[in-house]
Amino acid sequence: MISILSQERLIGVALGTAFTASVLFQNRRAMHCQWIRLPKEQMIAKNCSYKFAVFGTKL
């Protein structure tokens, strides 16, 4: 049987991982929504593009 201390550590790791994953997901979603709302002129001014780079090709 696993000791209480080990159980608490496992629960702490699981909850910490879940919390970190949720924070990262929310931040990435917020950044994505922000990029979608920017006008094309601002995207070009910031040297960004709508296209995704494909390895070995030029954009």
Does residue 1 form part of some domain? Answer: no
Does residue 40 form part of some domain? Answer: yes
Domain interval for residue 46: 7-59
The confidence score (pLDDT) of residue 4 equals 93
pTM of the model: 0.54
The confidence score (pLDDT) of residue 21 equals 94
Long-range contacts of 9-15 (CB under 8 A, 24+ apart): none
The confidence score (pLDDT) of residue 18 equals 95
Q: What is the pLDDT of residues 13-47, one digit of tens each?
A: 999 999 999 999 999 888 887 777 766 666 555 55
Does residue 29 form part of some domain? Answer: yes
Does residue 49 form part of some domain? Answer: yes
User: Is the predicted pLDDT of residue 54 greater than 70, yes or no?
Assistant: no
Does residue 42 form part of some domain? Answer: yes
Does residue 2 form part of some domain? Answer: no
Is residue 16 within 8 A of residue 8, CB to CB? The reply is no
Does residue 13 form part of some domain? Answer: yes
DSSP state of 43: H
**How many folded domains does the chain comprise?**
1
